[in-house]
Chains A and B, each alone.
Chain A
């Protein structure tokens, strides 16, 4: 009996502890989400005071909207290429910086530095470099280049380069930490057995680095699916829709085309996609860990 009372008192405190967090969360996320969800069933234009409920029309419309599929395609293309590139480069840098190298702290700082700059700034600086800086620099070497952002074939890649520049710092640090967690004796004994550097990398380092790789892949992927600022400030979806991603598409629909209701429906769909991607990731991850 006494025990029960104590337990209840304890739980009471725990609930009390939870209240401020839950309140804030409700204010910032739950209430707006519900309101937004409500708008997704209306034809609200984003400004007028009248709302008309139109049922699932916005959702039906969205599924049939080829522009949404283009935007989704671009989003995934961007996210997947970026994830692979960032991870390869971050791993490469980590391996280089993990070896004995003079000034490696300095280099680490340099590679990390771009990640602390706001995306708005990075986009601003880079689009200027693309259109003026690089062409003028390469002209000294007799090369004639134009901004990748001006060509639909390269624009997405141009964005990816900026994202790599900004995004490599953290995965690199994680890889460095991962590498340092690998026992030196293991590498040593592999080398004594006569394994070449590449062989050691493939058969010892990479498998032991698997957890870091998984984490980095997941982080970059989920992050890049939600890319927004970068696209908006550098290409705004152009040229010719080549860089239109789902978030910018939602944004434009809701704000430029006066279709807030439809925009809300699109973002709800995107929300569901994010949830699915997350769940899939989690399950793949679980499976892999079991396999290990």
Chain B
């Protein structure tokens, strides 16, 4: 008897193994199985009990699976919502003119956007559009920026149609254009609501596949009181910025609020400091073109070392736990007036207003980030953010184009500014978003604006790589030279 049990037991254990080996989910299997032999050898009452036990075990295992294994990840992949609103059956009148004829029944278009920090604001703008166009319903799908492109790509690749979506000018637009998903907007009536140079800046292969939507400065917020107490002038050169940071640090405050736990704040900064230095300071104008073809090396570009050194400065003068605090945490530090400066777009303004009205009203200012020591180069970074694209396969192109026409009107532009706290490219749209931002007025008036993102003519995702590598330098896991080599190695296997 005993012996028989032993063999059976072994067999069961082996089964266990199989089970367990598979998925975490089936862990329970093991216990279930192991139990079954006991059922045969014991009395009924015990069997009942064991059954229950088995159940418990399975539940336990299951949860373990759920937790430990990460089985099917969750992640962020796949898709966006957007119901590919093919609800209405009307024939698609694919005439590409903005002023299309009225369509019969109500049409639903899907609109997927990455301005999820202002979800409610965008919803209000859409309501305004729907009120003006009772025949068109817009199914709005806000998606976090970090996940947006993954979702959009999965959807597109799967043959799903999102009628209207946001895109960034440059490599993302090129990618979707190459995939054949973008309607050509060149010469549409509503495009005349934008300055020709803006359109030119956002063109792909000489044509406009996206409509500029919003834009904004990316600059440095500063705490006026801390600056005044320490007698700091607004720094106009990089060295002056660091000298100011040193002064602030000596006084016991934090110079820079860094939310680098999230990837994008550091990526956003590197993605501007580096191209600005590359093109404007070191005059490597074709660096990114060559990078695309695998002909350029980071090692040969002096700006690489400059940016790494700048990053180390930022890190040194940042709040403690630079990579443990996220964006929200950084905004909190600034709003609490513990940190004196924060490199950011205009989007945290609403949050700061909620948390510290006085600071928002009069206590903070905004100045261009001085990436170099040449004052004349240090203009105000002014970037397009979201642009709009229409899917070339949309069944409701007319409605989609109407939506774009609305967004490009003065009414739409004003609505955008009012509801999202960012600026619009629409000619004549209001530009009054927050007291701090008005400090930048002279730069707007004198046209001292530039857009470093224009220089980045490659679709290689060098900035996330750079961002990760430079973190190794922060923690002395690698020297700048090592990571420059790593970057070049990475480019070597990733150029087109």
| Physical contact A–B (CB less than 8 Å) | yes
Residues in A lying within 8 Å of B, measured CB to CB: 45-49, 61, 64-67, 82, 86, 112, 114-116, 118-120, 122, 127, 130-132, 135, 144, 146-153, 163, 166-167, 169-174, 177, 211, 214-215, 218-220, 222-224, 226-233, 236-241, 247, 251, 255-258, 277-278, 281-282, 285-286, 289-290, 292
Contact present for B67 and A163 (CB under 8 Å):
yes
A218 interface neighbour in B17, B150, B474, Cβ under 8 Å: B17
- Contact partners of A255 in chain B: CB under 8 A: 77, 149-150, 153-154
Q: Is B302 an interface residue (CB 8 A)?
A: no
- Which listed residue, B18, B60, B176, B471, touches A282 by the CB 8 Å rule? B18
Main SS of the interface on chain A?
Answer: helix
Distance, CA A289 to CA B149, complexed state (A): 50
* A219 interface neighbour in B30, B71, B325, Cβ under 8 Å: B30
B69 touches A232 (CB 8 A): no
Q: How many angstroms between the C-alpha atoms of A256 and B153 in the bound complex?
A: 10
User: Besides A211-B34, A241-B472, 7 other CB < 8 A contacts?
Assistant: A47-B176, A115-B60, A167-B64, A169-B63, A173-B57, A215-B20, A226-B24
28 A-B contacts (beta carbon < 8 Å): A47-B176, A48-B179, A116-B63, A120-B74, A131-B329, A149-B324, A150-B260, A150-B261, A150-B322, A169-B67, A177-B57, A215-B30, A219-B24, A219-B68, A220-B64, A222-B22, A226-B70, A228-B74, A229-B74, A236-B146, A238-B468, A256-B464, A278-B21, A281-B20, A281-B21, A285-B14, A289-B13, A292-B10
Which positions 350-397 of chain B face chain A at CB distance < 8 Å? none
**What is the CA–CA distance of A292 and B5 in the complex, to the nearest angstrom?**
13
Would you call A240 and B261 a contact (CB within 8 A)?
no
Contact A170 B21 (CB under 8 A): no
Query: Known contacts being A116-B66, A146-B321, A166-B67, is A173 close to B74, with CB within 8 Å?
Result: no
> Chain A residues near B469 (CB, 8 Å)?
240
Whether B153 contacts A47 by the Cβ 8 Å rule is yes
Interface 1/0s, chain B 142-164, versus A by CB < 8 A? Answer: 00001001100110110000000
Chain A residues whose CB sits within 8 angstroms of the CB of B18 once the complex forms: 282
B68 in contact with A224 (CB, 8 Å)? yes
Residues of chain A lying within 8 A (CB to CB) of residue B181: 47
B37-60 residues at the A interface, CB under 8 angstroms: 53, 56-57, 60
Tell whether B65 is near chain A: CB-to-CB under 8 Å.
yes
**A240 x B472 contact (CB < 8 A):** yes
**Given A46-B157, A286-B14, A239 contacting B475 (CB threshold 8 A):** yes
**Cross-chain contact B153 with A223 (CB below 8 angstroms):** no
Q: What interface size band does chain B fall in? A: 35 or more
Task: Tell me, in angstroms, the Cα distance from A148 to B325 when the chains sit together.
Answer: 10
Task: Return the contact of B321 from the options A116, A150, A153, A289 (Cβ within 8 A).
Answer: A150
CA distance A290 to B14 in the complex (A): 11
Query: Considering the complex, which residues of chain B in the window 78-120 have a beta carbon less than 8 Å from any beta carbon of chain A?
Result: none
* Residue of A whose beta carbon sits closest to that of B28: A170
Which single member of B320, B475, B490 contacts A240 (CB below 8 Å)?
Answer: B475
Q: By the criterion CB–CB under 8 Å, are A151 and B61 in contact? A: no
CB <8 Å contact, B323 and A150: yes
Q: B141 near A: Cβ within 8 Å?
A: no
Which residue on chain A has the smallest CB distance to residue B63?
A115
Taking a contact as CB atoms closer than 8 A, the residue among B14, B53, B76, B263 that contacts A289 in the complex is B14
Complex CA distance for A281 and B20, rounded to whole angstroms: 10
Docked CA distance A19–B67 (Å): 32
> Which chain B residues lie closer than 8 Å to A211 at the CB level?
9, 13, 34
B21 touches A114 (CB 8 A): no
Contact B73 A228 (CB under 8 A): yes
B residues near A174, Cβ cutoff 8 Å = 31, 57, 60-61
Known: A122-B67, A167-B67. A222 touches B475 (CB 8 A): no
Residues from chain B with Cβ under 8 Å of A82 in the complex:
68
- Residues in A with CB closer than 8 Å to B175 are 45, 47, 258
The yes or no answer to B446 lying at the interface (CB within 8 A) is no
Task: Tell me if B3 is interfacial: C-beta within 8 Å of chain A.
Answer: no
Residue numbers of B with Cβ under 8 A of A are 9-10, 13-14, 16-18, 20-24, 27, 30-31, 34, 53, 56-57, 60-77, 146, 149-150, 153-154, 156-157, 175-176, 178-181, 260-261, 263, 320-326, 329, 459, 461, 464, 468-469, 471-472, 474-475, 477, 489-490, 493-494
Given contacts A131-B325, A149-B261, contact A222 B20 (CB under 8 A): yes
Closest to B26 in A: A219
Knowing A150-B323, A152-B475, A218-B21, say if A223 contacts B69 (CB, 8 Å).
yes
Q: Given A119-B66, A240-B468, are A169 and B324 also a contact pair (CB < 8 Å)?
A: no
Let me know if B477 and A152 touch, CB within 8 A.
yes
A122 to B76, CA, bound (A): 15
Contact A119 B321 (CB under 8 A): no
Complex interface: chain B residues within 8 A of A282 (CB): 14, 17-18, 21
Contact at B60–A247, with CB atoms within 8 Å?
no
Instruction: Please tell me if the beta carbons of A238 and B471 are within 8 angstroms of each other in the complex.
Output: yes
Contact assessment for A227 and B69 in the assembled complex, using a CB-CB cutoff below 8 Å: yes
Chain A residues with Cβ below 8 Å from B21 are 218, 222, 277-278, 281-282
Q: Is the CB of A127 within 8 A of B261?
A: yes
User: How far is the CB of A176 from the nearest CB of chain B, in Å?
Assistant: 9
Contact of A285 among B17, B70, B154, B179 (CB under 8 A): B17
B20 and A147 contact, CB distance less than 8 A: no
- Distance in angstroms from A163 CB to nearest chain B CB is 6
Contact of B156 among A47, A146, A151, A218 (CB under 8 A): A47
| Given A47-B175, A218-B21, A226-B69, CB of A232 within 8 Å of CB of B76 | yes
CB distance from A281 to the nearest CB of B (A): 6
Whether A220 touches B70, Cβ cut-off 8 Å, given contacts A131-B321, A170-B61, is no
Contact of B70 among A116, A219, A230, A256 (CB under 8 A): A230
Known contacts being A47-B175, A219-B61, A222-B22, is A167 close to B321, with CB within 8 Å?
A: no
A284 CB to nearest chain B CB (Å): 9
Closest residue of chain A to B322 (Cβ to Cβ) is A150
Inter-subunit contact B73/A115 (CB<8 Å): no
Min CB distance A148 to B, Å, is 7
Within the assembled complex, what's the spacing in Å between the Cα atoms of A148 and B489? 29
| A179 vs chain B, min Cβ distance (A) | 13
Contacts A240-B468, A240-B475 hold; do A232 and B74 have CB atoms under 8 A apart?
yes
